[in-house]
């Protein structure tokens, strides 16, 4: 795995809706993040094998491999990465999705979300991830 040079944090956005992916990339890029976009779980897996990311923003409903399946793969292949996941979904009323989100304990953004909500959840997730990596509870 390679890491971005300098102090830039890397974020992988897994999103099949072009407008949402573009908005996330623009907002996070303006916040100083290096952003990579994958349109489905399979292409996200490929990027995760080749690169180190500080955070993954994963849509639960993507083609080929959905966000739940991608998260399960992360648990098997790279369990430390599961602590750096934020989910997005337009399907928060589905009982299976609700149960999954509760089980993981990971933050999520219900769609549609605002730029401020995106910034806020990313900052909080990065701060939490930093504390857990340094052993601070």
Domain boundaries, the chain: 10-133
| pTM across the whole model | 0.90
Q: What is the pLDDT of residues 10-31, one digit of tens each?
A: 999 999 999 999 999 999 999 9
Q: Give the architecture (CATH level 2) of 10-133.
A: 3-Layer(aba) Sandwich (3.40)
pLDDT in tens, 90-136: 887 789 999 999 999 999 999 999 999 999 999 999 888 776 655 54
User: Which residue is it, tokens 């989910």?
Assistant: 87
Look at residues 129, 130, 34 and name the one whose alpha carbon lies nearest to residue 84. 129
Q: Are the C-beta atoms of 36 and 57 separated by less than 8 Å?
A: no
Give the pLDDT confidence score for residue 128 in this predicted structure: 82
User: pLDDT at position 135, please?
Assistant: 54
Mean model confidence pLDDT for the chain? 90
């Amino acid at each position: 795995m390679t890491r971005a040079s300098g102090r830039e944090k890397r974020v992988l956005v897994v999103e099949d809706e072009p407008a949402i992916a573009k908005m996330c990339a623009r907002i996070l890029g303006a916040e100083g993040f290096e952003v990579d976009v994958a349109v489905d779980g399979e292409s996200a897996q490929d990027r995760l094998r080749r690169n180190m990311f500080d955070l993954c923003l994963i849509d639960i409903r993507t083609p080929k491999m959905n966000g739940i399946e991608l998260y399960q793969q992360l648990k098997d292949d790279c369990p430390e990465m599961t602590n750096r996941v934020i989910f997005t979904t337009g399907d928060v009323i589905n009982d299976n999705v609700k149960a999954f989100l509760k089980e993981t304990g990971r933050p999520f953004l219900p769609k549609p979300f605002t730029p401020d909500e995106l910034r806020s959840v990313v900052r909080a997730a990065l701060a939490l991830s930093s504390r857990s990596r340094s052993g601070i509870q």
